Structure formats: C-alpha cells, structure tokens
Amino acid sequence: MMLWSTSTFRWLSKRALPCLDTRPPACAGRLMVGSSDSGAESLQERQKRLMTRGLPKLKAIQGVKQVIVVASGKGGVGKSTTAVNLALGIAANDSSKTVGLLDADVYGPSIPQMMNLKGNPEITEKNLMRPLVNFGIVCMSMGFLVEDTVPIIWRGLMVMSAIERLIRQVDWGKLDYLVIDMPPGTGDVQLSISQNIPISGAVIVSTPQDIALLDAWRGAEMFRKVNVPILGIIQNMSVFQCPNCKHETHIFGADGAKDLATKLGLAVLGDIPLHINIRKTSDNGQPVVVSQPDSPEANAYLSVAAAVVKRLQNPFP
C-alpha cells in the first residue's frame, strides 16, 4: 500500500496529470486543436509549431548553486552507492558546504535504505515537500512516498511529472551542491533533467568489464549531445583483495574504465575497490564514509569527492 500522509496525498492530488487522449492514431490526424479566425489548427500543424520553439529553457533549482548528476549506462555497477558516498564525501571534505541528495531513480529508489531514512516528507506552508535529513545531507526520494516492496508501475509521462515535483516542489533550502542519483541508461529521465535544469557536471560510474563500459560510453555520448559537462569516469569495483592473504584479483577486468576515459578524452576521477565493507555499510544504512571514515574504502570515496569538486567549472573560492 502507499504510504501517503494526508497532506502529501492532497499535495499530489492537486497536481494530478490530465487524462490522455485515448483515441486511435487514425483519428489523430483529423484532431482539431483550438480555433482562430482563420480556422481550427490540425494536430500536425500544432506539433510543427511547437517543434519550432526549440528546447525548453534551463531553469535553476531554487536555492541550489551546483548540480552534479551521477549516471551509469547500466544497472548493477554501484552508481547509487557511489552517489551516496560522493555526497557524504563532499560534505566531509568541506564542512562549510551544504549538500543535498536527490534519488531520481523512480522505479528503483535506493537512497532511503542507504541513508537510513524512513517516513513521509512534511508539507510546508508554501506547499513544498520538506526533505528528510541524515548525516547532515538533505535527501528526497520517491521511496519516501511508497512502501519498500511496492512497485512503481507508471508510464513515462507520470514519471516525468514525478521527477518535476521531486525537483521543483521540494524545499531544498540553501545548498552548495545537489547530487542527483540518476536511473541507469539513457532514457526519459536523463533527457528531461538534462534539458530542464543547469547541470554543473556529470559523473559516469562503470565497472571495468566490457559490457558495462559499452553502456557507459553510450551514457557519456548522451551527455555530450545535450551539452552537459562530463567531469570524468569513476572505475568502481576495480579490484578485490582477499581478506586473508591480501592477494588482489581483478574480477571485472583491469583498468577498463581508465582505457575508456582515454578514448573519450575524459578524466579518471578515481578507483573504488570491491570490498565487503562497502556492501555491508550500504545495506545497513551506515555508508562507509561516515561509519568507517578512516578505512581505505572511505578514503577512496573522499579522494573521488575532492576530484569531482576540483573539476567543476565554477569552483567556490
């Protein structure tokens, strides 16, 4: 069942999507839209007129200075874990900066569990959702609005509407950085976010294996096509070290992401090892950067966070 609070449900209900035209395509060509002195406008004419307007203008998120998107070409490469520890790493490296985390993966939200957050966001007097906070990071996710095991079974238009609300109808306060955990792939959500808000830079996460690298390449090309600066590539699960004999094994291959970065002319932001501490701390809602700050794994994320901030086009003084 849904976990809507009364106020949240009322907030969403007022923003329900309009009904879609369900008439068959054969009728679409004859659909007349509006009227004018010169006669009604056909659907094709209206579409042509709308296309001439070009792409929507970028509109900044109120109160947010810089937006960093964390993306991957495919799922299962550790993107969300990286996004969480990146946000925490940025805050840990500079306690004077305020950091937020937006879970844009509507179908598979992971941020609530990783950040150990539960409950409904409150609605402010200005009719905005108030983010949940843990470890000093303000967070927003679709996972706060549904039970853990309830699937989100929505078509693209509803997902786009939800993303718009999660971005615009949230009281973010004053943030120096907003880290957005993107869904995997190069679909509607990526395109919508890229074309509607100014993004300071994109971070591509990939394991070194060939199949992941191919999709990471596609992701990088998508950001280039929509003119989003790519800060670099993070090679995740780069090496496994046996806890007993300390022998290192490159389970997913060696330096594949580094080779891809060279081909694409991108920076390598760092290597994150394949380690049980990262898995355990993520599952327990105690990310390694905050629960084991002196561990090699945490230091790897802190190094990546420093590299990301350094490569932003407009770094703070």
CATH number of the domain at 139, please: 3.40.50.300
6 pLDDT exceeds 50? no
Q: Does some domain include residue 40? A: no
| 73 vs 59: CA distance, rounded Å | 26
Give the pLDDT band of residue 231 (cuts 50, 70, 90): very high
Contact 171, 129 (CB under 8 A): yes
Q: What is the pLDDT of residue 254?
A: 82
- Give the CA diameter of the chain: 83
Q: Does some domain include residue 14? A: no
Q: Which two tokens stand for residue 283?
A: 């599952």
Q: Does some domain include residue 31? A: no
What does pLDDT average to over the chain? 84
Query: Which residues, in sequence order, are CB contacts of 86 under 8 Å at separation 6+?
Result: 68, 70, 179, 203, 301, 304, 305, 308
Query: Which residues, in sequence order, are CB contacts of 186 under 8 Å at separation 6+?
Result: 73, 218, 219, 222
Q: Which two tokens stand for residue 144?
A: 């706060």
148 pLDDT exceeds 60? yes
The pLDDT tens digits of the residues spanning 193-206 come to: 998 999 999 999 99
| 20 vs 43: CA distance, rounded Å | 15
The pLDDT tens digits of the residues spanning 259-306 come to: 999 999 999 999 999 999 999 999 999 999 999 999 999 999 999 999
Q: Does some domain include residue 19? A: no
Q: Does some domain include residue 185? A: yes
Dihedrals phi, psi of 177, to nearest 5 degrees? -140, 135
Of 214, 189, 316, 201, nearest to 264 (Cα)?
214
The range of the structural domain enclosing residue 206 comes to: 64-313
| 284 vs 242: CA distance, rounded Å | 22
- β partners of residue 141: 103
| 251 vs 121: CA distance, rounded Å | 41
Of 74, 81, 68, 94, nearest to 273 (Cα)?
81
Tell me the CB-side half-sphere exposure of residue 55, using CA atoms within 13 A.
13
Q: Does some domain include residue 3? A: no
Q: What is the pLDDT of residue 232?
A: 95
Give the pLDDT band of residue 52 (cuts 50, 70, 90): low
Of 199, 206, 205, 259, nearest to 223 (Cα)?
199
| 98 vs 91: CA distance, rounded Å | 7
The pLDDT tens digits of the residues spanning 168-181 come to: 999 999 999 999 99
The pLDDT tens digits of the residues spanning 78-93 come to: 999 999 999 999 999 9
Q: Does some domain include residue 34? A: no
* Structural domain total, the chain: 1
Q: What is the pLDDT of residue 48?
A: 63
Q: Does some domain include residue 97? A: yes
The pLDDT tens digits of the residues spanning 61-84 come to: 999 999 999 999 878 899 999 999
